[in-house]
Structure 1
Amino acid sequence: MEAILKLFGEYFFQFYKMSGYDRVLRTLGGNLMEFIENLDALHSYLALSYQEMHAPSFRVERGADGKMFLHYYSDRSGLCHIVPGIIEAVAKDFFDIEVTMDILDMNEEVEMTGKKEHVVFLKAYRKKRKAKSKRLQDSQGIERDQEALQAAFLRMKEKYLNVSACPVKKHHWDVVRSIVMFGKDKRVPIYPERLWIEEKTFCNAFPFHIVFDESLQVKQAGIQLDEYFSIIHPQVTFNIFSICKFINSQFVLKTRREMMPTTLKFRGNNSLLSCQMIWMESVQCMVYLCSLKLRSLYEDLILLNQQRLAKIELSNQLEMKKKEELRVLSKHLATEKNKTETLLYAMLPKHVANQLREGEFKSCTILFSDVVTFTDIRAACEPIHIVNMLNSMYSKFDRLTSVHAVYKVETIGDAYMVVEGVPVPTGSHAQRVANFALGMRISAKEVMNPVTGEPIQIRVGIHTGSVLAGVVGDKMPQYCLFGDTVNTASRMESHGLPNKVHLSPTAYRYALKNQGFEIIERGEIEVKGKGKMTTYFLIQNLNATEDEIMGRSKTPLDHKGKQKREALPLVLSSFSTNHLRYV
């Protein structure tokens, strides 16, 4: 698990860099030491920006022998192994050096916010091996080197564990020297015998400095520091021990509201002190050099406005990106639409294709049919027998579509579907479909069941209603119908009886009633997804003979025996049935 977390740290750094934040990271320092020392400041800023973030804390300790110890604090245990992956990746990428971060100690400490995981890392440089012409030493010599290295590491770990947990600086001039000599060659500063600055001048230069001792007693004001202030950052217990541990961090103190004057207590303003702690070994006191920041409503508004401007800028960038993506998608859509239109116009006359592309039809009639017990037949027969049966049935049904001028939509397995009234509206669409259904029932008697040798039985369902139609798709453009009419027609078929033509109440009342057909009422039934419905059975056409229904006369008939089919559906009949589907 440790290896996985370390690899995650390396990957996270690369991801952060590729996301364009490498310039932000490079500002943390000109070398690896400065980078590590500023890690805590970076996480403090992130925690301020993202309130839900549980940011870890870091502090750097320099050993007497020049070693560097990195202290890691986090209220989420088990994630410390990510740190070596990030630090080693930063050292290699930013500073072209190879280091290792080894764990010296790992424990839990109780701080102001509760228990925190405390891990101590030792930074060590990894030596680069130079190419040699000779072979490496034998395995025995390598083992001796490894044993010596392990022993040295154990001695260093033991030495560290014996060091006081409250590290201090040798002299406060060390801090001054590090500030003055930042980024320059290290030179030995000249320490004066006495400080050439008057107390008054010093207090005027640093009007808000505080000097307190180990008991947090403010020497100059004579007050108890922790009675008047609380620590905002870092989140540690307010005592000299915790302050010494984070002496390299920036401390932010906040005045306690209950200790403020009555005139300021209810104004909502809090004083924030922000600067560096410096331990003065000679007098055993801590000096806090800071600037006083009175937080007012005006400054809060400025801060909120800057945050708002940043959010607006980010939103504008995202909007521009989305607009560009939408423009590209619109361009691709127009290209594909042109391809679809070109293909459709190549297959049909342009005026016919335009009628097919879109339209809402107030009234049409849809028919579904299937073979009763087809599943049992399929299970008991060879595939070739099923193919022969379906081919014989479909051939007879296809001939009837020309007889009654209805359009075959598709066949799926044993299911057969036709429609009339789309795309050219006709006043007799229900009568045409009804005559076609009667012909299907007669034709089914001529198709034999390969299992029993007897004629097959079919169920037929019919419904009349409105649909929305249009051409969809680009690979194989299909003329699709959408609406509840399709679903209801399918329900009429599935709730029908063998060798019966099942009519919905709409098909009966508004299309076939008093149109020369014999129709009987089935009664009220429960239809899936529709509730209770009163349905009907179509028995026969009272004005047409069986030969006329089957198209054995010279002129194809509708229910009146005279009307012929319009030209457009005949054109559509030459358009492959695979291009017309209904949903």
Structure 2
Amino acid sequence: MYGQIHVCVRELVLEKFNQEAWDKIIEKSGFDERVDFMVFHKYVDEKTFVLIGAVCEVSGLALPAVLEVFGEYFLTYCLRHGYDKMLRTLGSDFESFIQNLDSLHALLAMSYKQLAAPSFRCETDENGQLWLHYYTIRPGLYPIVIGLVRAVARDLYQQHADVEMFKKTTEKVEGGKPQEHVVFKVTLAASKRTSVVARVEENKQNPCTSGLLQISPDQFCAALPYHIVFDKNLKIMQCGTMIQRFVQNRIKPGTKVSAIFDVIHPHMNFSIENIRMFINAVFMLEVRQAARGNCKLVLKGQMLWLDDVSHMIFLCSPRLTSLTELIEMNVFMSDIPIYDVTRELVLLNQQRIAEIDVAKKLDETTAELKKTSEALEYEKKKTETLLYQMLPEKVAIELKNGKTVEAEKFESVTVLFSDIVTFTNIAAASTPLQIVSMLNNLYQRFDQCTNVHDVYKVETIGDAYMIVSGVPEENKNHAREVAHFSMDMIREASNVHSPVNNNPLQIRVGIHSGPVVAGVVGLKMPRYCLFGDTVNTASRMESHGIPGRIHVSPTTYRFLEGNKYQFRDRGHIEVKGKGPMNTYFLLGTEASLSEPKDEYTNLPLVRTPGDMSPLNGINGNDKAVERAADHCERHGISPNQTSKTSPPVTSKNQSSTCVLS
């Protein structure tokens, strides 16, 4: 079937259901919107049946119901897409419309070269009952006819039609494919139409049929140069003058028409019985041995049964669809009678062929453009994903739109730094490939954790990893998000092994909360950087940290109040450039994080206070100072003295575009 049917099915589903239903149908059928809906492309029937099957599955309707709805909608589709005038002028009433459907299909076959159209024939019995005969090589599609007949009667002739399938048989047309023959009983509501029976009676009273005019056979053959009269035995009784000119051997009386011509449409053997079965069809006879041109002549026309003499007359014209065929067959316009519309048809169809060629190329170009557009969209998403990994999405969108990103001040954020314990020794004892592989494994695990928690990865420098929460989108729970992220970091680091001794890696983590300034630095490789004392203090928390532990400043400790976190109170330590600070080791919620076996397991176990508000300063308020003094007094430590358990101040290089020392 042609892609026109697929397009019609798509419009039907979108109109009767919705886009979601159509997406499901596309998924189940395996169709491609780009290549399976080209109007002038011929698809195998099985492909179309798969699409219809998917419609049945998604809609929950049985196949006959879907086909019937499709048949009714097909008329609506044709009326909307430029076939309205053609259909409305096909017949003056319902019967004549059906009788001329075969002629319409023959006309459409000029555009759709491989069209395998069904055949229709109407009969009216002596009681005025209308019987519709439907022939097709595609069995099981007769419900389409029911919906189509109802729609034609309603929309074109304002009548109500009751359609009932009377019988269904399979007939083997001699010389052709087996065809399904379905007979429908059609009952039409009363209307102003002129019935077939009434027209027959009217014709009987027509004075033109009284037999007063007589014409000789020679004059008849000259007036109708393209006609053949033959009897029940297919013996030619007479033929037009032009027929003789196109046949290589002169036709003699008594020669069988089947000896000179082959029936190429409908597909059947040449016999009176077959012809009368498809009497309403357009017949095409091909000359077996042509006398002119390189191509065989095809005669296209109508078969009429003459009851008075029991003969069949074939009224025809040369089947010519283009000027090219006219030249190939060595036929001239003068060979066609002036009253015959073949002349105009050839010229009009020549223009139509050019339009169809353009339409086909447009379909193919559209399909290619869709492919290119989808490929571009896919690459665009990949580029945007990479960009959003380098810059915050909010900032990246503004830069992409050509806007200048102004620096912003954030009053309350939480910053985290981490590094790998003994990284220098590991790097010295390993190959560069091993180092890269180890860091890549570790950082991929950390990066996956950033997708779980509301944190933003600022950068990595060597073995240092930096994240922040509350930037560039403000977050009231920034300290809690970073705390949970830091616990995940400790767990993930234990799953990565050193290439030197295969031991699990240990990291130091430092966290601090406070205000920062954030902005984009650079043009060639723009970076989103953080500035302020908060960044520097977070770095000091990491450099004064302990392997396998999360070192938290007093400010972050206050921000975590009310969340049932457990800490080890490290007490007062001397922080480079900051002086004495009372810091803590975060253990987790309800001791969810196992501690490393070190000397710090003896430090006091504390919880986040519930009666203290978050502080803005890094040294705490008066109550924090009092708590630090009490702790020093309990442990015999001078307030100006670094704790015995404090590690020596390192000279770790903290230079970074994101850190101000």
What is aligned with 1:118?
A: 181
- The 3 A distance-change label for structure 1 pair 127 and 38 is closer
Question: How many pairs were matched up?
Answer: 362
Give me the whole-angstrom Cα distance separating, in 1, the residues matched to 2:229 and 2:597: 105
Q: Is 1:299 the equivalent of 2:412? A: no
Q: Which residue of 256, 259, 265 corresponds with 1:227?
A: 259
SS in structure 2 at match of 1:232 = strand
Residues of 2 paired with 1:305 and 1:292: CA distance?
Answer: 19
TM-score (ref. length: structure 1): 0.50
Q: Closer, same or farther in 2 for the Cα pair 1:52/1:113, shift >3 Å?
A: same
Whether 2:226 is the aligned partner of 1:208: answer: yes
CA distance in 2, matches of 1:456, 1:187: 119
* 2:308 alignment counterpart: 282
- Residue 345 of structure 1 aligns to a residue in which SS? coil
**Among candidates 94, 100, 109, match of residue 162 of structure 2:** 100
**With structure 2 as the length reference, what TM-score do the two structures score?**
0.45
Q: Which secondary structure state, in structure 2, belongs to the residue aligned with residue 548 of structure 1?
A: coil
Q: How does 1:321-400 map to 2 (within 5 A)?
A: 340=398, 345=404, 347-348=406-407, 369=443, 390=485, 396-398=509-511
> Secondary structure, in 3 states, of the residue corresponding to 2:67?
helix
CA contact under 8 A between 2:167 and 2:184: conserved in structure 1? yes
Looking at structure 2, the residues matched to 389 and 191 of structure 1 have their Cα atoms a distance apart, in angstroms, of 102
Contact 1:397 1:443 in 2 (8 A): no
Contact 1:401 1:408 in 2 (8 A): no
Q: Corresponding residue for 2:356?
A: 310
**Alignment CA distance shift 1:98-1:76 (3 Å):** same
When residues 305 and 25 of structure 1 are mapped into structure 2, their CA distance, relative to the original with a 3 A threshold, is closer
Instruction: Give the superposition deviation at 1:260.
Output: 4.2
8 Å contact from structure 1 (residues 233, 253) kept in 2 = yes
Supply the distance in 1 between the matched residues of 2:527 and 2:320 (Cα, whole angstroms): 80
2:444 equivalent to 1:444: no
Residues in 2 aligned to 1:444 and 1:104: alpha-carbon distance in whole angstroms = 86
Q: Which residue of 2 aligns with 1:577?
A: none
2:270 and 2:395 map into 1 onto residues whose CA distance is 71
- Looking at structure 1, the residues matched to 92 and 548 of structure 2 have their Cα atoms a distance apart, in angstroms, of 90
Q: Residue 595 of structure 2 aligns with which residue?
A: 454
Q: Does 1:253 align with 2:253?
A: no
SS in 1 for 2:152: helix
- Indicate conservation of the 8 Å contact 1:448/1:454, yes or no: no
Partner Cα separation in structure 2 for residue 40 and residue 193 of structure 1:
32
**Structure-2 separation of matches of 1:399 and 1:50:** 75
State the shift of 1:36 in Å: 0.9
Using CA pairs under 8 Å that are at least 6 residues apart, name the structure with larger relative contact order, 1 or 2: 1
Native 8 Å contact 2:133 2:181 kept in 1:
yes
- Looking at structure 2, the residues matched to 117 and 339 of structure 1 have their Cα atoms a distance apart, in angstroms, of 62
> Structure 2 vs 1, CA of residues 546 and 343 (structure 1 numbering), >3 Å: closer, same or farther?
farther
Gaps of 5+ in 1: 129-168, 179-185, 331-335, 350-364, 379-383, 410-420, 427-431, 458-544, 551-556, 559-563, 574-583
Query: How far did residue 343 of structure 1 move?
Result: 10
Equivalence for 1:273: 299
Gaps of 5+ in 2: 1-61, 239-251, 329-345, 378-393, 409-435, 453-478, 490-507, 530-535, 552-584, 599-646
Distance 1:423 1:189, change over 3 A: same
Classify the secondary structure of the residue corresponding to 1:93: helix
Question: Identity of counterpart residues, as a percentage?
Answer: 28
The secondary structure found in structure 1 opposite 2:107 is helix
Whole-angstrom CA distance in 2 between matches of 1:28 and 1:10? 18
The one-letter amino acid paired with 1:308 is A
Q: 1:399 to 1:96 in 2, by over 3 A?
A: same
Structure 2 Cα separation of the partners of residues 440 and 94 of structure 1? 89
Deviation of 1:121 after TM superposition, in Å, equals 1.5
SS at match of 1:107: strand
Alignment of 1:509-524 (within 5 A): none
- Residues 369 and 127 of structure 1, relative CA distance in 2, 3 Å threshold: same
Match of 2:649 in 1: 547
Instruction: Check the 8 A contact 2:136/2:181 in 1, yes or no.
Output: yes
2:573 maps to which residue?
Answer: none
Structure 1 position 77, deviation (Å): 1.0
Cα distance change, pair 440–546 in 1 and its aligned pair in 2 (3 A): closer
Q: What is the distance in 1 between the residues matched to 2:519 and 2:404?
A: 22
Looking at structure 2, the residues matched to 102 and 108 of structure 1 have their Cα atoms a distance apart, in angstroms, of: 18
Shift of 1:237: 3.0
One-letter identity of the residue aligned with 1:18: R
Q: Please state how far the C-alpha of 1:85 moved relative to its aligned partner.
A: 0.8
Residue aligning to 1:504: none
Q: C-alpha displacement at 1:16, in angstroms? A: 2.9
Please say if residues 405 and 519 of structure 2, whose CA atoms lie closer than 8 Å, have aligned partners that are also in contact.
Answer: no
Range with greater deviation from structure 2 (97-106 or 21-30): 21-30
Q: Which of 54, 61, 81 pairs up with 2:123?
A: 61
Q: Against the structure 1 CA distance between its residues 193 and 456, is the aligned structure 2 distance closer, same or farther, given a 3 Å change threshold?
A: farther
Question: What is residue 134 of structure 2 aligned with on the other side?
Answer: 72
Instruction: Give distance in 1, aligned partners of 2:488 and 2:222.
Output: 107
Aligned residue identity for 1:192: S
Pair 1:390–1:260, CA change in 2 (3 A): closer
- Counterpart Cα distance in 1 of 2:218 and 2:262: 28
Asked if 1 retains the 8 angstrom alpha-carbon contact of 2:303 and 2:312, the reply is yes
Counterpart residue number, 2:274: 242
Q: Provide the alpha-carbon RMSD of the alignment.
A: 5.4
Q: Which moved more, 1:441-450 or 1:215-224?
A: 441-450
Whole-Å Cα distance in 2 between the matches of residues 215 and 4 of structure 1? 46
Asked if the contact 1:57/1:234 (under 8 Å) is kept, the reply is: no
> Deviations 1:407-449 (Å, cap 9, x if unpaired)?
999xxxxxxxxxxx964699xxxxx9xx999949845345565
Q: Assess if the C-alpha contact under 8 Å between 1:269 and 1:294 holds in 2.
A: no
Task: State the shift of 1:306 in Å.
Answer: 4.1
1:94–1:437 Cα change, 3 Å: farther
Residue 200 to residue 369, structure 1, CA distance change in 2 (3 Å) = closer
Name the structure 2 match of 1:19: 81
| Matching residue of 1:501 | none
Corresponding position of 1:470: none
CA distance in 2, matches of 1:440, 1:226: 106
1:308 Cα shift? 3.1
Deviations 1:250-271 (A, max 9, x none): 3221112xx445xx5xx53111
- 1:124 is displaced (CA, Å) by 1.0
Structure 2 CA distance for partners of 1:76 and 1:425, relative to 1, 3 Å? closer
For residues 37 and 119 of structure 1, what CA distance do their matches in structure 2 show? Answer: 16
Give the Cα–Cα distance (whole angstroms) in 2 for the partners of residues 211 and 422 of structure 1: 89
Q: CA deviation at 1:96?
A: 0.8
- Residue 312 of structure 2 aligns to a residue in which SS? strand
